[in-house]
Amino acid sequence: MEQYSETIEIRKGEDFDQTALKQYLEVVIEGIPTGPLEVKQFPTGVSNLTYLIRCGDWEAVMRRPPSGPLPPKAHDMKRESEFLQRLYPAYQLVPKPYIYCEDKSIIGVPFYVMERKKGIVLNDQFPQGVKVTKELCETISNEVVDALAQLHQVDYKKVELSGFGHPDGFLERQVYGWIKRYERSKTDEVPYFEQLANWFVHHIPKSPDATIIHNDYKLNNMLLSKDLTQIEAVLDWEIATIADPLFDLAGALGYWMEEDDPETLTNSLPTVTTMPGFIKRSEFIHRYSLKTGRDIPSLHYYLAFTYFKLAVVLQQIFYRWKMGQTSDERFSEFDVRVKNLMIHAYEVSQKQTI
């Protein structure tokens, strides 16, 4: 099975000069066979674009920014590839980067090429033919928790990643930054935005010691082994940084749906974790605490902000679709998800514990 489940033909408007790419790769990477590239696109993901590139027996993965105007400092290919280069020796669940290219004359945008890790991605359903048991779902759950705990225990100073983040004031910058992002991409009135923005600003908690954080840690950003019992790779490191590990933990929990969660939430963030056998969010927190040796406080602020942030991400994408900057019809109904997530963020913010 291909990475991201399966590849597709390149979507309209997301192709590039494949001949120019092949000529460039022949110069900078040894051992590439002669002949044209075969290029397919990985269909999931709504941020950077990812492609499988093959030539004979040689294959790799290319990452590039999306088309159209982009938010400031977003989609930084150089930073992402350098981050992986330094993290790889200590955390080999990341793909190994091969080359970074900032020369826009090649394909029109900066890009990087990395090792192709193979595996299965779980989105909102299991692959056909898989016997889904409670034991399998629990095993997958534990793998997800353990890989996050392992990441948060990597010494970022030893792997020379100190310069890749500014942990002091991280949460404050996140709060003000995401509020501004929403305001810049606003299209319709959304319930509770003003109340949430005010509450987040006035209740920022004190962060624990900083760690490496993935910053978009979720099940469908991973490749699982053929039998689904091990994580082969953790993908999509474009916004990884050095910051508050509880922010990363809550981010993972935000995507971790439970069977009895409201449909407005599970429909907005569809995933297999609603199936019997997947651990509850409370069990996720408990196992993480045991694996890291950290006491975990109430995460209601962090989790409410996670849902708020997810709403803003979808709003930015919906804005791009509404402005005609992307023709991907997957994004045409994201406004409904935005409203549902904003409402749920408000409901979580009113709780005292998570």
Find the CATH number of the domain harbouring 110: 3.30.200.20
Where is pLDDT greater, at 238 or 276?
276
Same structural domain, 157 and 91: no
Q: How large is the average pLDDT for residues 142-154?
A: 98
Sign of the Cα torsion 213, 216, 219, 222 reads: negative
Token pair of 316, please? 């930015």
Same structural domain, 216 and 294: yes
Q: How large is the average pLDDT for residues 42-63?
A: 87
Same structural domain, 34 and 88: yes
Same structural domain, 257 and 327: yes
Instruction: Calculate what percentage of the chain has a pLDDT beyond 90.
Output: 83
The helix (H) or strand (E) run that includes residue 344 is helix 334-349
pLDDT at 75: 62
Same structural domain, 106 and 153: no
Whether 252 is covered by a domain: the verdict is yes
Matching residue, tokens 């406004």: 335
Q: How large is the average pLDDT for residues 76-90?
A: 94
Q: Say if residue 68's pLDDT is above 70.
A: no
Three-class DSSP category at 93:
coil
Same structural domain, 190 and 69: no
Q: Say if residue 236's pLDDT is above 60.
A: yes
- Contact status, residue 83 vs residue 240, Cβ threshold 8 Å: yes
Q: How large is the average pLDDT for residues 289-315?
A: 96
Stretch among 27-41, 149-163, 246-260 having the lowest mean pLDDT: 27-41
The whole model's pTM is what? 0.88
Stretch among 32-36, 56-60, 334-338 having the lowest mean pLDDT: 32-36
Q: How far is CA 118 from CA 60, 106, 146, 230, in A?
A: 10, 27, 20, 12
- Contact status, residue 261 vs residue 274, Cβ threshold 8 Å: yes
Whether 204 is covered by a domain: the verdict is yes
Three-class DSSP category at 251:
helix
- In tens, the pLDDT along 191-224 reads 999 999 999 999 999 999 999 999 999 999 999 9
Whether 9 is covered by a domain: the verdict is no
The helix (H) or strand (E) run that includes residue 113 is strand 111-114
pLDDT at 2: 39
Three-class DSSP category at 87:
helix
| Distance of alpha carbon 65 from alpha carbon 58, whole angstroms | 23
pLDDT at 70: 55
| Distance of alpha carbon 58 from alpha carbon 237, whole angstroms | 24
Same structural domain, 200 and 98: no
Matching residue, tokens 């193979």: 118
* CATH number of the domain enclosing 312: 3.90.1200.10
Q: Say if residue 189's pLDDT is above 70.
A: yes
Q: Which of 80, 88, 66, 87 is nearest to 113 (CA)?
A: 80
Same structural domain, 194 and 254: yes
Q: Which of 347, 335, 330 is nearest to 66 (CA)?
A: 330
300-322 vs 170-185: helix crossing angle, rounded to 10: 30
Same structural domain, 109 and 138: no
Same structural domain, 275 and 158: yes
Q: Say if residue 353's pLDDT is above 90.
A: no
| Distance of alpha carbon 260 from alpha carbon 266, whole angstroms | 9
| Distance of alpha carbon 227 from alpha carbon 235, whole angstroms | 19
Looking at 114, 146, 177, which one is the last position of a domain?
A: 114
Stretch among 61-75, 137-151, 236-250 having the lowest mean pLDDT: 61-75
Sign of the Cα torsion 66, 72, 78, 81 reads: negative
- Contact status, residue 200 vs residue 278, Cβ threshold 8 Å: no
Whether 123 is covered by a domain: the verdict is no
Q: How large is the average pLDDT for residues 12-23?
A: 93
Question: What's the number of domains the chain is made of?
Answer: 2
Q: How confident is the model at residue 354 (pLDDT cuts 50, 70, 90)?
A: low
Same structural domain, 262 and 323: yes
Whether 208 is covered by a domain: the verdict is yes
Instruction: Calculate what percentage of the chain has a pLDDT beyond 70.
Output: 95
Whether 119 is covered by a domain: the verdict is no
Q: Containing domain of residue 255, as a range?
A: 134-349
Whether 11 is covered by a domain: the verdict is no
Same structural domain, 59 and 170: no
pLDDT at 92: 93
Alpha carbon dihedral 301, 303, 309, 314, in 10-degree steps, equals -150
Whether 120 is covered by a domain: the verdict is no
pLDDT at 238: 87
pLDDT at 1: 32
Q: How confident is the model at residue 89 (pLDDT cuts 50, 70, 90)?
A: very high
Q: Say if residue 310's pLDDT is above 70.
A: yes
Measured between alpha carbons, how far apart are the two ends of the chain, in Å?
37
Instruction: Give the gyration radius of the chain's Cα atoms.
Output: 20
pLDDT at 12: 87
Per-residue b or e along 216-227, where b marks 16 or more CB atoms closer than 10 Å to that residue's CB: bbbbbbbbbeee
